[in-house]
Amino acid sequence: MRGPADTRAAARTAPAGSKRVVSTRTRSIWLWQLVQAAAVVVIMLVITTLTTSQLVHAPLIIGAALLIIVSAVVMIIPWDRVPRTAIVGVPLADTFAIGIMSVGGELRLEFLWCFPVAWIATHFSARWLVASFALISTVIAVEAVNASMSSLATLRFAIVLLCLAFLAVLFRQMARRTTAMKALLRSQAGRTQRTLSRVSAQQARATQMFDGVNIAIARVTPAGDLVSPNAAYLELYGIDPEDPTQPPRTVDYESQRGRALSADERPVSRAARGEQLDGERGWVFDTHGQWRAVSVSTQPLPPVGDESPSTLLMVQDITELTQEKRGRENLAAVVSHELRTPITVMLGNVDLMRDDENLTEEQVERLDTIDRAAERMLALIASILTTDRDTAVPHEPVSLVNMLRESVASFSAAARTRDQSLTLDLAGTFRLAGDAFRLRQLVDNILSNAVKYTPNGGAIRVAARTHDGMIEITISDSGLGIAEEDLPRLFDDYFRAKEAVGSGLPGSGLGMGIAKAIAESHGGSIRVDSTVGRGTTVTITLPEATP
């Protein structure tokens, strides 16, 4: 509600010809004055109807006319521009007019003084109330002097003054209570407004955070109504933000270019029925004509307050992940196909060379090494570039000694061509259970790096020992080494240390990540210690099998 100052400003700035704005102050003055004027008019009409003899009483006519004139003046004065202290002149003028009406008459019109007394007691200070009583007392005293009033008349006027005094006290107390109540209400309204502002700000912030999530989220009632869908949901399903009750402009499909889902099969309907969905795959044909692979999950929400239970529907767009997976699968298929042919040719030629009866024992051994390496390559091709590294591996007894010997033997020829010293140091017996193929891949990846990044004439050492129920395999080299800042990223896919990149030697940056995944899938771990220019030590820790 605007105050008088706001109303005055509005009145000053209002264009010419516009409707006049009446302030609260003006309405209050009009109300008090018009009630008095209406009472006087009604009294005069009653007097005219019942006893016309009183109309010849001059003070009555003069007083009534004066009060009507005051009322007319009140209706035309711009009270917004008049000081507050000047307004008290109106009820004082009314007091005087009523005093004139009651002089020398028999109608006992003194009760009309209750109107101006109540007005002054309600809106003005005590000094003005005293002034009004002084005026009333003066009118009574003048009448008493002029009419030689009897003791009974004096008592009547005394009772009038007492009644008016009690009435003034009552109205004054009511005004104070009203003022205090208004102040309390304003204070409470201010606190409520501040609380609402904080809640609105928090709600706006929560909405911003909610809309910032790239997962489509909405709450679904048992009736199937959407409540508070976020921006990602509205965008994915092509829903008008101004009217979320409208049906989506997209179509849900069972598979890409497959069967369109019926209304009862759509995620919203299933969520409304309270079905539990956990990463269920589907497809959406959006408003842009694009296929979107989605993962749908639901979560029941308990009722809050008067709300009924509902379901949280979460739809994640996994199109990029799906396309990336398909791309890797296609790449794996192409690479596997392109590598199988030359390896198959190698195996065929090894078989033909074995038919030569003039081969020495060393040559036969070399052919066997080539044959085993080619067979292992075919096995690796079957799982090349796979991303499912967390798949559980079958555990079976593994001869760690034989595995390490075969791995060292397979790299011995490459080490000799570079005058490298490749030694194997086994201390004790080893009991190990796991996937022999994967464990061999783990050792081969580390040993391959050691041979590749160790310069000519360097040394490579493979050792194994048991310690506190764990088997530790260490592969040490005197190669290029790895900078300390590169060690934390060494197991990231496609990452290569700057020393490896600077060597000019080829590499994919996948070997260490694969090795770590294999070690962890067997309940073990892998650690790398390295110093640039002094070599690297890789420690593989695997749990020892119980006897």
pLDDT in tens, 89-112: 888 888 888 888 877 666 667 788
Residue 202 domain flag: no
Inter-residue contact 537 to 476 (CB < 8 Å): yes
177 in Cβ contact with 127 (< 8 Å): no
- Let me know if residue 486 belongs to a domain: yes
Q: Name residue 239's amino acid.
A: I
The predicted model gives 445-473 an average pLDDT of: 89
Instruction: Indicate if 354 and 251 belong to the same structural domain.
Output: no
Q: Is-contact 221 210, C-beta < 8 A?
A: no
Q: Average pLDDT in the 429-447 region?
A: 84
In sign, the C-alpha dihedral spanning 102, 107, 111, 112 is: negative
- 71 with 164, same domain: the answer is yes
Q: How many residues does the chain have?
A: 547
Of 212-221, 240-249, 332-341, the range with the lowest mean pLDDT is: 332-341
User: What is the per-residue pLDDT across 234-272, written as a single tens digit (0 to 9) for each?
Assistant: 888 888 888 877 788 888 898 887 888 888 888 988 998
Residue 397 is predicted with a pLDDT of: 86
195: in domain: no
Query: CA–CA separation, 20 vs 198, rounded Å?
Result: 37
Q: Which of 317, 334, 362 is the last residue of a domain?
A: 317
Q: Which is nearest to 245 in space by CA: 267, 262, 265, 229? A: 229
Report percent pLDDT > 90 for the chain: 7
264-290 residue pLDDT tens: 888 988 998 989 988 888 898 888 888
Q: What is the DSSP letter of 2?
A: -
Shared domain for 233 and 345, answered yes or no, is no
Same domain, 53 and 113: yes
Alpha helices in 461-510 (DSSP H): 498-503
| Last residue of one domain, picked from the residues 169, 187, 205 | 187
Banded pLDDT at 477 (limits 50, 70, 90): very high
Residues 272 and 329 in one domain: no
Residues 412 and 522 in one domain: yes
- What pLDDT does residue 330 have? 65
Question: What's the pLDDT at 2?
Answer: 38
Judged against a pLDDT cut of 90, whether residue 509 lies above it is answered with: no
Mean pLDDT across the chain? 80
Residues 130 and 250 in one domain: no
527 DSSP β-pair partners = 539
Do residue 313 and residue 327 come from a single domain?
no
The CATH number assigned to the domain holding 418 equals 3.30.565.10
pLDDT at 547: 64
Question: Phi and psi of 507, rounded to 5°?
Answer: 180, 155
pLDDT at 296: 92
Q: Can you read off the two tokens belonging to residue 224?
A: 């199937």
Is residue 428 located within the same domain as residue 454? yes
The Cα 214–Cα 231 span in angstroms is 8
Q: Is residue 388 part of a domain?
A: no
Domain that holds residue 359: 323-382
CB 96 within 8 A of CB 57: no
Whether 358 and 415 share a structural domain: no
With vertex at residue 452, the alpha carbon angle to CA 447 and CA 457, rounded to the nearest 5 degrees, is 100
Task: Tally the domains of the chain.
Answer: 4
Q: What are the φ/ψ torsions at residue 64 (nearest 5 degrees)? A: -65, -40
One-character DSSP codes across 383-433: TTT---TTSPPPPEEE-HHHHHHHHHHHHHHHHHHTT-EEEEEE-S---EE
Same domain, residue pair 180 and 227: no
CB 369 within 8 A of CB 409: yes
Give whole-number Cα distances, 74 to 9, 26, 70, in Å.
21, 9, 6
| pLDDT over 80 at 144, yes or no | no
Instruction: Provide the CATH number for the domain around residue 263.
Output: 3.30.450.20
Q: Which residues, in sequence order, are bridge partners of residue 280? A: 296
425/305 same-domain check: no
Tokens of 292: 């979107």
- Whether this prediction's pTM lies above 0.85 is answered by no
Three-state DSSP at 83 gives coil
366, part of any domain = yes
> Using 50, 70 and 90 to split pLDDT, how confident is the model at 345?
low
Residue 56 has pLDDT above 70, yes or no: no
For 44-48, 135-139, 298-302, 342-346, which range has the lowest pLDDT when averaged over its residues? 342-346
Could you give the CA distance from residue 502 to residue 307 in angstroms, rounded to a whole number?
65
